[in-house]
Amino acid sequence: MKQILICFLTILIGCTSNQIKTKDELANLHFIDVDTFDQNLSKSMSIGNDTITVSMIGKVSVNKIPERLGKWLSVINAKMGKVDFKSTTPPKPINERNTGSLAVTAVLGLLPSTYDFLKDKFFYSSAEKYDAILYYQADTGLLEKVIFVKK
């Protein structure tokens, strides 16, 4: 009897953890550096959401974009899509150290190795239909959100 109860609870917990997300839920994702994020973003792009907003949880610097998110952005960049950067705060005054090379540095940091790119090409192929806008704080360099916009 105890084993049947344990099996039932395991099945019940397993079913509730794999709930199907709605189109609206897939259009508003939170970045967490796990496979589930890739699956949700891929599904959201595959169903053709016009815009997909990915909010950051925690501190993510535009100069150190996590590899998982960088792969999505590198596919867009490689397929002649646009990867733009927009500040949500006023820029630092000119007399402070501000090189203006933030966008170039960040885009160069997005390029994954050739092996990984080819290995994951099919999984990330839906990103070819999107452009991306990265919203960041100019004073701290922290990424706030990424919005994928259907071309």
Domain ranges, ordered by start, for the chain: 22-150
pLDDT surpassing 50 at residue 138: yes
Pair 8, 34: CB distance under 8 Å: no
Q: pLDDT per residue over 58-96, tens digit each?
A: 999 998 999 999 999 989 988 889 999 999 987 666 555
Pair 124, 81: CB distance under 8 Å: no
Instruction: Please enumerate in sequence order all residues whose Cβ is within 8 A of that of 67, keeping only pairs 6 or more positions apart, or say none.
Output: 112
Q: Which two tokens stand for residue 10?
A: 């395991």
Pair 103, 143: CB distance under 8 Å: no
Give the pLDDT mean for 119-126.
73
Per-residue pLDDT, 125: 85
Q: What is the pTM of this model?
A: 0.70
Percent of the chain with pLDDT over 70: 66
Q: Which two tokens stand for residue 97?
A: 């150290």
Residue 145 C-alpha from the chain's centroid: 8
pLDDT surpassing 70 at residue 98: no
Per-residue pLDDT, 24: 87
Instruction: Give the pairing of strands 51-56 and 143-150.
Output: antiparallel
Per-residue pLDDT, 44: 95
pLDDT surpassing 70 at residue 108: no
Distance (Å, rounded) from C-alpha 23 to C-alpha 126? 16
